[in-house]
Amino acid sequence: MEAKPIYRILANFVSSYKHWIVKYPNVADVFEDAIEKLVRAEFPSGSGFDSGTTLDLEKSSATKLVFLTAYHHMNDGGYYDGWSENIKVIITASLRYAFDIGVTGIRRKDRWHLQDYIVETFNYVLEKEIEYEWPYKR
């Protein structure tokens, strides 16, 4: 097994998925399953991200990862008081840094604070190094 940052693993899996989907969808399915399993295991779910996180395979590529999530807002009293339901977290390759993170879809006046929190959370997960196995062997 080999350890790599999660963003590199996902970029490789997405690239392989896109490569195989046209001629060999059964092989692409192996990569799709591996992507879903990795995202489910490592990305935010709970603690405000109550709907979990998914990767939009159609909009993702080897140089861009698009995650879909939602955030359950709390007020100062600790009570839930609304949702931002269509949040996209867009990871793009960067020559200066390993990647850049953009966030869209936050619908609250405290959006800058939440945007910073989402960027921190995703940055932590994406840079985390894990051991993995290549999901498909010929």
Give 98-131 pLDDT, tens digit per residue.
Answer: 999 999 988 766 666 889 999 999 999 999 999 9
Task: Quote the number of domains for the chain.
Answer: 1
CA distance 60 to 18: 9
Residue 135 within any structural domain of the chain: no
Residue 134 within any structural domain of the chain: no
Q: Which helix (H) or strand (E) holds 22?
A: none
Residue 38 makes CB contacts below 8 A (sequence gap 6+) with 6, 9, 10, 13, 132
More confident call, 81 vs 45: 45
Residue 118 within any structural domain of the chain: yes
CA distance 137 to 40: 23
pTM: 0.91
Among 82, 48, 53, 65, smallest CA distance to 14 is for 65
**Could you give the 3-state DSSP secondary structure of residue 42?**
helix
Residue 138 within any structural domain of the chain: no
Determine the structural domain holding residue 114 and report its residue range: 2-129
pLDDT band at residue 46, thresholds of 50, 70 and 90?
A: confident
CA distance 11 to 15: 6
Residue 99 within any structural domain of the chain: yes
Residue 89 within any structural domain of the chain: yes
CA dihedral 42, 6, 122, 56 (to 10 degrees): -80
Residue 113 within any structural domain of the chain: yes
